[in-house]
Amino acid sequence: MNRRRFLSLAALSPLAALSNRSAFAMRLPGQHGGANSVVRRASGGLSSLTAAPGNYDLGDGPRPGAMLFNGSWPAPTIRLQQGDLFDLILHNNLDEPTIVHWHGLLPPADMDGHPIYAIGPGESRPYLFSVHERASTYWYHTHPHHRTAYQAYHGLAGFLIVDDGLDEVRGLPPASRDIPLLLADKRLNTEGAMEYNPSMADIMRGLLGNTVLVNGRQALQMSVEPAVHRLRLLNGSTARILNPAFADGRTFWLIGTDAGLLDAPLAVNSVLLSPGERVELLVDFRDDAGTTLEFLSALANITSPGPPIEFPQGAEMPMMRFVVDEPLEGESGEIPELFDAMPPPAITEGPVRPFVFTQNGPDHFINGLTYELERIDFTVEQGEPEIWRCTNAGNQPHPMHMHGAHFRVLGRSGEPIASDAGWKDTVLVRVGETVDVALRFDVPGLFLFHCHNLEHEDHGMMLNFVVNANNAIFRDGFESVP
């Protein structure tokens, strides 16, 4: 990421650009100049996303009652290269408002999918911005006022993967062994159909399903080669905190978190993954030819009181199986020792902004407030480092997410979580914990800070904030901070 690209972003007025697309496209190459002059226009093979009702298929045949992007269950994976111009149109063929948010990307504020930009049935909205984020596993989902949980649950959520072309140099597995796995629990009724019927208790705790789907399938079996694989996990559940692990307890390696790679693989046996978070893993199937391995959500110690249910928060749940084939084409790969230089957090101090999470029955509060669409709750200065101190004073866990920045975890009062080591956009704050994160907002405008337990979010646990434009912005390359 270089200064020049940031300057070009700062110079864009996205709305003006959208009303005159050809002028916009012509301006970009000159602004990038030199070695950066190649601006690809790419939307991962998509030029439009249409949200519409449709059928879903858990593996036993189609059933009505889903909400799909481009007719696809699960939603299509969007793959982008750093430097791409992300250019697509959202069409709303639902019978309710919607808007898409690119979770983890840092586009101009009016491209970020804030609910004030929701479009009604039959309407369309163009998105246009350049992709400058670190290569990582991001995602996209709808974000309309009060309907985020409902729509994401029914299928309007998918992967958005940014590549930087360096994975081969890093010694990471080839594309054929790079596997995105969308993990999301659902409540299936006795007919095996998805239900979304949150009770008061479900709104207090978040709706916890009885089945974890992987890429939209129940009990998925996936064939893999006896080789090293890269798994990209996204927890797309509305409320369930997962703890992915193998039934045989084997070691695997955490290599990336929400917003980028670690500097070296971290050996783990399980990895806590709360709603909204992503992790990238390397798993070694080289010695497993001819076997079937169970990949599950292992028991985790998570306080989340409520009326008894079959699979409470933290319960062990099956997810999928890997069937390791005998034949192998080409190299089996290995676990690289080191692949990226991720500096320690450069922001270690700054004004501390406290956030306290509480609840009262079904209402969830941040600093005593529940969400109002048109109320601005606080402002931050563009380009200024801050420490956000997140304290959970309630009795449910909260995966907290802000739009508009990536952060590093500076400290956690409770037990460490493996993903605290990397670049993040969502962080789990368990009951009684305080977590400090260091961040800086480089994009001006209106953004959201909310719990990614989507029942909590839709029931008030969200604030609006504005990043005040400051003329000295974009003064450094993004990579150097925090």
Q: How far is the CB of 378 from ligand C2O (least distance, A)?
A: 16
Would you say 141 or 230 has its CB closer to ligand C2O? 141
Would you say 100 or 220 has its CB closer to Cu ion? 100
Would you say 321 or 398 has its CB closer to ligand C2O? 398
Q: Which residues bind ligand C2O (CB under 6 A)?
A: 101, 103, 141, 143, 276, 401, 403, 448, 450, 452
Q: How far is the CB of 202 from Cu ion (least distance, A)?
A: 13
- Beta strands 260-268 and 292-297 are unpaired
- Residue 102, classed as helix, strand or coil, is strand
Residues 6+ apart with CB under 8 A from 245: 269, 270, 271, 295, 296, 297, 298
Q: How far is the CB of 346 from ligand C2O (least distance, A)?
A: 25
Q: How far is the CB of 107 from ligand C2O (least distance, A)?
A: 13
**Contacts to Cu ion from residues 361-400, by CB under 5 A:** 398
Torsions phi, psi for 261 (to 5 deg): -80, 155
Would you say 107 or 276 has its CB closer to ligand C2O? 276
Nearest residue to 244 (alpha-carbon basis) of 309, 177, 181, 333:
181
456 interface partner picked from Cu ion, ligand C2O, none, CB below 5 to 8 A per type: Cu ion
Residue 103 makes contact with Cu ion by CB under 5 A: yes
Q: How far is the CB of 342 from ligand C2O (least distance, A)?
A: 23
448 interface partner picked from Cu ion, ligand C2O, none, CB below 5 to 8 A per type: ligand C2O
Q: Is the Cβ–Cβ distance between 86 and 79 less than 8 Å? A: no
Give buried/exposed letters for 403-430 (b at 16+ CB in 10 A, else e).
bbbbbbbbebeeeebbbbbbbbbbbbbb
Residue 450 makes contact with Cu ion by CB under 5 A: no
- H runs (alpha helix) in 140-223: 148-153, 200-205
Residues 6+ apart with CB under 8 A from 388: 352, 353, 355, 402, 407, 436, 437, 439
The total of other beta-carbon atoms located within 10 Å of residue 42's CB is 19
Would you say 133 or 284 has its CB closer to ligand C2O? 133
CA dist., res. 234 & res. 248, Å (int): 22
Q: In whole angstroms, what separates CA 436 from the centre of its chain? A: 20
141 interface partner picked from ligand C2O, Cu ion, none, CB below 5 to 8 A per type: ligand C2O
Q: How far is the CB of 401 from ligand C2O (least distance, A)?
A: 5
Would you say 134 or 452 has its CB closer to ligand C2O? 452
Binds Cu ion (CB under 5 A): choice among 130, 151, 304, 453: 453
Residue 237 makes contact with Cu ion by CB under 5 A: no
Q: CA torsion, points 391, 396, 397, 398, in degrees to nearest 10?
A: -70
Q: In whole angstroms, what separates CA 24 from the centre of its chain? A: 29
Q: How far is the CB of 104 from Cu ion (least distance, A)?
A: 6
Which position's Cβ is nearest ligand C2O? 103
Contacts with Cu ion, residue ranges (CB under 5 A): 103, 398, 403, 451, 453, 456
